Structure 1
Amino acid sequence: MYQHILVPLDGSANSNQALQEAIELSRVFGAKLTLLTVVNNSNWIAASGSIATDITKDYRERAERLLAQGRAITDKAGIQTTSVIKTGIPKNVIVDYCQSEDIDLIVIGKSGADAINRLLIGSTTAYVVRHATVRVLVVNAQEDPEA
């Protein structure tokens, strides 16, 4: 049923839970996984020169760490993955990526790490659900029974 699953990662508990769900789906369907992290440039205020370079470098390094963590989880699970870093507005990049690649399912966390943007301009997940041309599975982080 599913051959290629996209998992957007932002470091939130919800995206980590989405990755776990995608791993299980990958096992069931024999699907390949693509992990996507977006360097969000929507908050960059007209930075130029070395400041812009520093911001880009910091965001890129964070994206690389997130993907490395995701790959470590999928490697441990025995699931082969592809990792992709894109720059842009996350909700647009996710939808556009699915249209340009052979993705047939997005497994995404209910809410991500960027709560301020969610309040100001709306949820990335809600946008993806409304605009994606493929199926979308929205995953909640499991509550910690110890909390």
Structure 2
Amino acid sequence: MFKKILLAYDGSEYANKAYEYVLELAQINGGCEVYLISVANIPEFVNSKDEVDEALNAAKLYYGKILGNARKLANEKGIKIFTEVIPGHPVDSVIRFAEKHECDLIVVGKKGTSGVKRYIIGNVAENIARHAKCSVLIVK
């Protein structure tokens, strides 16, 4: 059914639940490729390129460890997985990545649902679902 599944992964509780779904889907759809990406959301307003580089390097180190742990679990289950840390705005970056790699499904974890957090965080999953060209699964 699915040939390429993309999971936007940040190591949070919801992302971990989404990862469990992705692993199950990958096993059901034997032979599908799984892309696990973390987006390093770099601040728009910085004083220098060095600040951007520093923030990006810190994000790559942090997410690299998280993605490495996730990759081990997939490898143990015999699932073909690719991981990458990419800079940019979360919504735009996830959608661009999915289009570039011709993903059939984007999976995201649902985050905060109340107050300001909903508008800052939950809005990412909602906007991915709204603007993606492929199917989107939001895991609660």
Task: Classify the TM-score, shorter chain.
Answer: 0.7 to 0.9
- 2:95 is aligned to 95
- 1:34 is aligned to 35
Q: Matches of 1:55 and 1:118 in 2, distance apart?
A: 25
Give yes or no for the alignment of 1:65 onto 2:65: yes
Q: Matches of 2:59 and 2:85 in 1, distance apart?
A: 11
Q: Matches of 1:28 and 1:14 in 2, distance apart?
A: 21
- 2:129 is aligned to 129
Evaluate the alpha carbon distance shift between residue 58 and residue 16 of structure 1 in structure 2; reply closer, same or farther with a 3 A threshold: same
Evaluate the alpha carbon distance shift between residue 36 and residue 61 of structure 1 in structure 2; reply closer, same or farther with a 3 A threshold: same
Query: Structure 1, unaligned stretches of length 5 or more?
Result: 141-147
Q: Contact 1:118–1:124 (CA<8 Å) still a contact in 2?
A: no
Q: Matches of 2:100 and 2:117 in 1, distance apart?
A: 26
Q: Contact 1:34–1:83 (CA<8 Å) still a contact in 2?
A: yes
Evaluate the alpha carbon distance shift between residue 46 and residue 139 of structure 1 in structure 2; reply closer, same or farther with a 3 A threshold: same
Matched position secondary structure for 1:10:
coil
The 10-residue stretch of structure 1 (27-36 or 49-58) with the greater mean CA deviation from structure 2: 49-58
Q: Matches of 1:24 and 1:35 in 2, distance apart?
A: 14
Q: Contact 1:37–1:66 (CA<8 Å) still a contact in 2?
A: no
Considering only aligned residues, what root-mean-square deviation do their CA atoms show, in Å?
A: 2.1
Query: Structure 2, unaligned stretches of length 5 or more?
Result: none
For residues 96-115 of structure 1, the aligned pairs below 5 Å read 96-111=96-111
Q: CA deviation at 1:53?
A: 3.1
Kindly provide the amino acid, as one letter, of the partner of residue 106 in structure 2: I
Q: Matches of 1:81 and 1:27 in 2, distance apart?
A: 12
Kindly provide the amino acid, as one letter, of the partner of residue 25 in structure 1: L
The 10-residue stretch of structure 1 (2-11 or 51-60) with the greater mean CA deviation from structure 2: 51-60
Q: Matches of 1:3 and 1:129 in 2, distance apart?
A: 19
Evaluate the alpha carbon distance shift between residue 33 and residue 49 of structure 1 in structure 2; reply closer, same or farther with a 3 A threshold: closer
Kindly provide the amino acid, as one letter, of the partner of residue 139 in structure 1: V
